[in-house]
Structure 1
Amino acid sequence: MDRRYPIGQFHVEVPISEEHTKQWIEEISQLPEQLSLLVKGLSESELLYTYREGGWTIKQLIHHLSDSHLNSYIRFKLALTEENPIIKPYEESKWAELLDYEMPPQSALDLLAAIHRKWVVLLRSLSAEQLERTFRHPESGEVNLKENIGIYAWHGKHHLAHIRLALENDHKQ
């Protein structure tokens, strides 16, 4: 198994069905609770476990999920209010080195839950036409909102799997 991609990389079958989209939105809605349950009661030393040599700690993964999903929520709003906007990528690995990643994980869990409450309401309200709207990523090119829902459903499961690997292997950085 490739520990970087324990659930495999994201692949989508085109065309994306309405059922797939609804399932992905449901998965996005469940992520904050799943993450909270998975990391509940972890000690400070357990929060420093990593899923692979050189990988992020559980604590960094928790903070990363809130930052990443906040960025995605904003990208959705930009795509819904502007015509194919160019979005700004960010240096995820450098964000993981900033001081706020040292804060207790509960701050990131609270932020993730708040983002997802708003995001899921927005996602469930989108028409078929709105789901086809796009934004342009400087590295990835044009990204369709419907596909991006799948990417972020995958992203949550991807990092939950990383945390499970870290807890199973007790690998410390």
Structure 2
Amino acid sequence: MSETNLQYPIGTFEPKPFSNTLKEKMLSDLAALPALMEMAVKDLDEYQLNTPYRHGGWSPAQFVHHMADSSINYYTRCKFALAQDNPTITPFDQDAWITLNDAAVPVNVSLTLLHALHNKWEKLLTGLSDKDWMRTVVYPDREKPVKLWNLVSVSVWHGKHHTQQIVAFRESKNW
């Protein structure tokens, strides 16, 4: 598999307009993501978990820890969007975060966190009104506010993207 296919195995994010059908699918995907990530790294040994998936890329273990960090941030952004009017959110430097000491914990710690957080996150979003999905947050570096719908959409794509990177990497290595 080429490096491009390993880098974007499901393609790049493409926003979709709000619909109840897509909302239900997205909530289902959000709830399922931790189990899919867990299956993606199941039975990998320490060497495999810590092998970068491409030159200059992250390892499966780093992806798992990154998904925990990212999910914490997206979950918090969703709560801000629902609890405040158009709050400004703080971006996080994912490359710096992945070098911090907590990135060295076993992957099962981050997987456990993902399971708990996604359960809580899915409950937070279930039953929101269509109007709630249009609430916004402000990224300091963007001109327009971002809707809750788009926050969750990109987050779900992001989780699928990294999960599939691990799966494609495993397949390329016959692991």
TM (normalized to structure 2)? 0.92
Q: Is 1:85 the equivalent of 2:70? A: no
Pairwise mapping of residues 40-55 of structure 1 onto structure 2 (< 5 A)? 40-55=42-57
Tell me the residue number matched to 1:57: 59
Q: Which amino acid aligns with 1:103?
A: V
- Using the TM superposition, name which of 77-86 and 160-169 deviates more: 160-169
Tell me the residue number matched to 2:29: 27
Shift of residue 2, structure 1, vs aligned partner: 4.1
Q: Is 1:154 the equivalent of 2:157? A: yes
Task: Among all aligned residue pairs of Structure 1 and Structure 2, give the percentage whose two residues are the same amino acid.
Answer: 36
Q: Which amino acid aligns with 2:77?
A: R
Tell me the residue number matched to 1:10: 13
Tell me the residue number matched to 1:167: 170
Counterpart CA distance in 2 for 1:13 and 1:62 is 26
Counterpart CA distance in 1 for 2:163 and 2:38 is 10
Counterpart CA distance in 2 for 1:13 and 1:57 is 30
Q: Which amino acid aligns with 1:133?
A: R
Q: Which amino acid aligns with 2:74?
A: S
Tell me the residue number matched to 1:70: 72
Contact 1:50 1:166 in 2 (8 A): no
Counterpart CA distance in 2 for 1:93 and 1:119 is 24
Q: Which runs of 5+ in 1 are unaligned?
A: none
Counterpart CA distance in 1 for 2:141 and 2:10 is 23
Counterpart CA distance in 1 for 2:21 and 2:45 is 39
Contact 1:51 1:169 in 2 (8 A): no
Contact 2:74 2:152 in 1 (8 A): no
Contact 2:66 2:98 in 1 (8 A): yes
Task: Tell me which of the two structures has the higher relative contact order, counting C-alpha pairs closer than 8 angstroms and 6 or more residues apart.
Answer: 1
Contact 1:49 1:167 in 2 (8 A): no
Q: Which runs of 5+ in 2 are unaligned?
A: none
RMSD: 1.5
Contact 1:29 1:120 in 2 (8 A): yes
Q: Which amino acid aligns with 1:152?
A: S
Tell me the residue number matched to 2:38: 36
Tell me the residue number matched to 1:95: 97
Shift of residue 165, structure 1, vs aligned partner: 2.4
Shift of residue 4, structure 1, vs aligned partner: 2.3
Shift of residue 93, structure 1, vs aligned partner: 0.4
Counterpart CA distance in 1 for 2:33 and 2:64 is 11
Q: Which amino acid aligns with 1:159?
A: H
Output one character per residue of 1:17-68: Cα deviation in whole Å (capped at 9) or x when no partner: 1111111111010001111122122100010122211001110000000110
Aligned residue pairs, count: 170
